[in-house]
Amino acid sequence: MSPTQWDFPVELCCRPMAFVTLTGLDVVFNAVHRAVWDAFCANRRADRVPISFKVLPGDHEYPKCRPKRTSYEWYIPKGILKTGWMNKHLNLVPALVVVFYELDWDEPQWKEKQSECATRVEIVRQSLQGRNTKVAVVLIQKKTPLPPGEDVIASERAAALCNACELSGKSLFVLPHTDHLVGYIIRLENAFYEHAQTYYYTEIRRVKSHKEFLNKTTHQLLFVRHQFKIAFFSELKQDTQNALKNYRTAYNLVHELRAHETNILEIKTMAGFINYKICRLCFQHNTPLDAIAQFRKHIDFCKKKIGSAELSFEHAAWMSKQFQAFGDLFDEAIKLGLTAIQTQNPGFYYQQAAYYAQERKQLAKTLCNHEASVMYPNPDPLETQTGVLDFYGQRSWRQGILSFDLSDPEKEKVGILAIQLKERNVVHSEMIITLLSNAVAQFKKYKCPRMKSHLMVQMGEEYYYAKDYTKALKLLDYVMCDYRSEGWWTLLTSILTTALKCSYLMAQLKDYITYSLELLGRASTLKDDQKSRIEKNLINVLMNESPDPEPDCDVLAVKTAQKLWADRISLAGSNIFTIGVQDFVPFVQCKAKFHAPSFHVDVPIQFDIYLKADCPHPIRFSKLCVSFNNQEYNQFCVIEEASKASEVLENLTQGKMCLVPGKTRKLLFKFVAKTEDVGKKIEITSVDLALGNEMGRCVVLNWQGGGGDAASSQEALQAARSFKRRPKLPDNEVHWDSIIIQASTMIISRVPNISVHLRHEPPALTNEMYCLVVTVQSHEKTQIRDVKLTAGLKPGQDANLTQKTHVTLHGTELCDESYPALLTDIPVGDLHPGEQLEKMLYVRCGTVGSRMFLVYVSYLINTTVEEKEIVCKCHKDETVTIETVFPFDVAVKFVSTKFEHLERVYADIPFLLMTDVLSASPWALTIVSSELQLAPSMSTVDQLESQVENVVLQTGESASECFCLRCPSLGNVEGGVATGHYIISWKRTSAMENIPTISTVITLPHVIVETIPLHVNADLPSFGRVRESLPVKYHLQNKTDLVQDVEISVEPSDAFMFSGLKQIRLPAQAFYTYQYFCQATGSTHG
């Protein structure tokens, strides 16, 4: 966009830098000069001093300096600030002119050169007559200079040169053209910068000195001007603190000026400029709050200074510019590191700028609505001789006139007319949209999604006004969902109304239909008459006719649109539009509900589709189809009503597909599930409802799943929360809110009509072949086929159980590890009605504990559903928990031959092993046999035959056996000596013959064997007679391999008389048995 009247001048917006001109450089033909110039311009980063350089010829004519005024007494200023002033000091009048001259100290023709140099300086000075501009000379030298003081000629000649050029020593520089050019240049420019600062300092002093001549009555404008100049020079001097201070003073002075309709624009313009400078400097000083405060003050000051009512759009334009410029400054500051917040960011300023731009548009619309016959005035009152204004903010047709009275009202009128006519050509929408989109970008950054949406709505509306309907629609469509999802129906309706207009004007069929559908719906806050109109239009469109234009549309645009719609009709073929409703709120609602969460496969699946229309008039739909995850069912769930297009609104109360507003319509569907789908979920994937027919135009509303649109989830929640009692309705009607969508159902197998019985005798005994009798009886009316049995350990239990449980059908042989824990699909044939069959199962449990067993019977049966023959697979299962216990407890003990308990046995001495089998089974057990398997270290004394063969043990009874064993000496064995195993073969007493016996192996305990040196064995008769002798025989056995000395003494009791040796001493030889006899005669009895 080219700069408009309202844009700030470039020289105001740039950062003022000291202006230094370089003369005597031939940058085109002289490589050395070129290099010098490049070093000045290249890489001007922030660390270099702020100077703007310009190369000019030595004889350049600088702007003439007007003769200094000696008195202000008769001087009346014509305006505040001349339009050329800032540019003059930025780009035309230098602070310093540098004369470059190639001259070495040892130049042979020194004199000539020196005077040439002096001439050049003189020419420059002439041109700058009257100005305080500094002049400096730089000698470009080929040689590197010697350190100061060493080169005598140099200092002499330098002094001479200064003298000739009338320069101070500080203004003469030497630039050796050597390797370190950049370094020298940087030093040079720092020196230039100092000179420039001095220059601007003197300028400030000069302007200040005028002050005392001014008086408050006639020179008010000059106060502002001078203050502004001081501030501007301070900026050039890079003294931003003072610049800010002076701008602030200038700002206050501007508002002290007497304002009148004739000069209000000038005052506002200057106030705007100064305000801009202040805000800019505040941001630069990192005091953003000061900037904001100043801006607020500025706006509050100027908001009401509208000026001429006929040109009030100018005020709006100016306001808009103020906000935009501040927004730009703010944004720039953020880019340089300032942090903004959600509630204080540039977006607000752009937004406000857009708001004023809108106001400008409105004002322009009312003020500039001249007849087409009104011609632009000639001569153009806005033209000036120079093409520009002399002073900022003045009217071109009365420049420099300070009087508040209009000397020439006619001229004024013409001028205003010219401005108004010009304003008429301004494309306001473009500006508004630019500002809005700037604001959108900002609000996006500062987490204001709703503000962003709001601005986008405004952009859309602006595009609509600008007749760019495509863009308008795109924006509106984009934000609609935000308002919809948050349930701001008033706002949504407003947006939709605009969107409907756009789609009408572009004859966008699908959009038009979609927006109509939603505007008729329950989310729309339109009045009924509006809804009626939209519904009528919608029907027209569906009947392949043109709709009536939307209200308040541009007349020309409507004409174009009508033509477009007519074209659409002539193109008509079959137009089918499918519109997904999940993203909006259409005027018809749909809910699908299966009657039950599951259906048996032998009953028809039933579900209802509920429909409710919210539009003002009854409406007839042409077709309803339901789609499922298994598409084969789709064909069963279609309702189609053949009707002519014209009947959409007629014949209303009849027909299934005719919806009366506000009434809930229930449509029942029924179909038979496929037997393959048993165990699967049937899901309604979509419901399609068609409006209109395929001859004209047809809209298919598509609900995903079991219905529901963008608003229904919230409504359902609200309905669920509600505890309001709903009024009673007739039986065939339901409350819409009370319908809960149920979009899926499970197909489950037919209910089995058989009985499964289990007969067994718990608990199971470890390792036995436990018998489980399964009885299956059919109660079906017809024959059942393919009966299969699955039985065994129920899956999903402890994995160890699977290893230790085995199932077989054959009880005659013991099953081993190779048998499975679960037998699957054992075919057992067919069953006639009432017939029953029995199957025996044998389970062997290797460990104790409880187990769950599963018996699962499946079969096939033919049945009819809805006159359709189907084969149903039914199944019935039974589970049973069976405890497994040990059949008996076995206790083993070692006793001596005299049945005395032994802790340990003695080598070579016989002892007894006693086993005791205690039945723990609740059922009688038969011990078929038992066997003792001795370890090699043990030997038997007599025969080891079973003493409990075929013993029947009832619960709690026990059977004992006794074996006489001997253990030869083995030396000292750690932990004792293994004895062997005891094997019991047993079965239930009740078990049949062919059931194998079970052998239970019991590991016998280890026994500690001790070697003893002497073994005494008394041989006593079992009884004696009174007064008869009783022979007593003692065997003494030396178990060692040494001869032992043995002393035997016998101490008889008083009851006996004793004969024989009472005391004897004898050597006992190794491994030898002695017999020692003595006789005793009992005296008394007992």
Partner 1 sequence: MAVCVAVIAKENYPLYIRSTPTENELKFHYMVHTSLDVVDEKISAMGKALVDQRELYLGLLYPTEDYKVYGYVTNSKVKFVMVVDSSNTALRDNEIRSMFRKLHNSYTDVMCNPFYNPGDRIQSRFVSLGRAFDNMVTSMMIQVC
Chain contacts with partner 1 (rule: CB under 8 A): 299, 342-343, 348, 352, 355, 447-451, 454, 457, 483, 486-488, 490-491, 494, 714, 717-718, 721-724
Q: Please name every residue paired with 876 in a beta bridge, in sequence order, or none if there are none.
A: 857
CB of 460 to partner 1, least distance (A): 13
Handedness of CA 812, 813, 818, 821 (dihedral sign): positive
Q: Which is nearer to partner 1, 500 or 690 (CB)?
A: 500
C-alpha–C-alpha distance, residues 1029 and 283, integer Å: 140
Which amino acid is it at 181? L
CB of 314 to partner 1, least distance (A): 18
Q: Which residue, chain included where needed, has tokens 């089995």?
A: 752
Both tokens assigned to 145: 């200079």
Q: Which is nearer to partner 1, 193 or 348 (CB)?
A: 348
CB of 530 to partner 1, least distance (A): 15
CB of 398 to partner 1, least distance (A): 32
Q: Which residue, chain included where needed, has tokens 């230790």?
A: 804
Q: Which is nearer to partner 1, 449 or 829 (CB)?
A: 449
Handedness of CA 383, 387, 393, 397 (dihedral sign): negative
CB of 721 to partner 1, least distance (A): 6
**3-state SS of 130-198?**
CCCCEEEEEEEECCCCCCCCCCHHHHHHHHHHHHHHCCCHHHEEEEECCCCHHHHHHHHHHHHHHHHHH
| 789: three-class secondary structure by DSSP | strand
Which amino acid is it at 278? I
Q: Which residue, chain included where needed, has tokens 């018996």?
A: 855
Contact predicate 573/635, CB 8 Å: no
The DSSP H or E segment spanning 13 is helix 10-13
Report the residue count for the chain.
1086
CB of 93 to partner 1, least distance (A): 41
CB of 483 to partner 1, least distance (A): 8
CB of 726 to partner 1, least distance (A): 12
Q: What's the distance, Cα to Cα, between the start and end of the chain in Å?
A: 145
Q: Which is nearer to partner 1, 457 or 953 (CB)?
A: 457
CB of 346 to partner 1, least distance (A): 14
Provide the 8-state DSSP code for 901: B
Q: Which residue, chain included where needed, has tokens 């010009």?
A: 422
CB of 490 to partner 1, least distance (A): 5
User: CA angle 744-745-750, nearest 5°?
Assistant: 165
- 365 contacts: CB under 8 Å, gap ≥ 6: none
Q: Which is nearer to partner 1, 140 or 319 (CB)?
A: 319
**CA-CA distances (angstroms) from residue 1043 to 212, 971, 1014, 1036, 1040?**
154, 20, 11, 13, 8
- 302 contacts: CB under 8 Å, gap ≥ 6: 268, 271, 272, 318, 319, 322
CB of 411 to partner 1, least distance (A): 36
Provide the 8-state DSSP code for 1077: E
CB of 171 to partner 1, least distance (A): 55
Q: Which is nearer to partner 1, 483 or 599 (CB)?
A: 483
Q: Which is nearer to partner 1, 353 or 609 (CB)?
A: 353
Q: Which is nearer to partner 1, 719 or 826 (CB)?
A: 719
CB of 442 to partner 1, least distance (A): 13
Q: Which is nearer to partner 1, 721 or 1085 (CB)?
A: 721
CB of 452 to partner 1, least distance (A): 9
Q: Which is nearer to partner 1, 90 or 316 (CB)?
A: 316
Residue 1037, φ and ψ in degrees, nearest 5: -130, 120
Among residues 874, 786, 873, 879, which one has the least CA distance to residue 825? 786
Q: What is the dihedral of CA 578, 581, 585, 588, to 10 degrees?
A: 70
Q: Which is nearer to partner 1, 403 or 718 (CB)?
A: 718
Contact predicate 710/583, CB 8 Å: yes
CB of 445 to partner 1, least distance (A): 12
Q: Which is nearer to partner 1, 270 or 711 (CB)?
A: 711
Q: What is the dihedral of CA 380, 386, 387, 391, to 10 degrees?
A: -100
Q: Which is nearer to partner 1, 437 or 634 (CB)?
A: 437
Contact predicate 875/856, CB 8 Å: yes
C-alpha–C-alpha distance, residues 415 and 659, integer Å: 65
Q: Which is nearer to partner 1, 449 or 956 (CB)?
A: 449
CB of 457 to partner 1, least distance (A): 8
Around 582, how many Cα atoms within 13 Å sit in the side-chain half-sphere?
10
Q: Which is nearer to partner 1, 133 or 442 (CB)?
A: 442
Q: Which is nearer to partner 1, 295 or 911 (CB)?
A: 295
Q: Which is nearer to partner 1, 494 or 634 (CB)?
A: 494
CB of 583 to partner 1, least distance (A): 17
Before 763, cis peptide (omega within 30)?
yes
Q: Which is nearer to partner 1, 450 or 1033 (CB)?
A: 450
CB of 461 to partner 1, least distance (A): 11
The DSSP H or E segment spanning 1016 is strand 1014-1019
In this structure, are strands 905-906 and 1009-1010 parallel, antiparallel, or unpaired? parallel
- 174 contacts: CB under 8 Å, gap ≥ 6: 138, 139, 141, 145
| 665: three-class secondary structure by DSSP | strand
Before 379, cis peptide (omega within 30)?
yes
Helix spans in 656-758 (H): 712-721
Q: Please name every residue paired with 744 in a beta bridge, in sequence order, or none if there are none.
A: 683
**How many CB atoms are located within 10 Å of the residue 868 CB?**
9
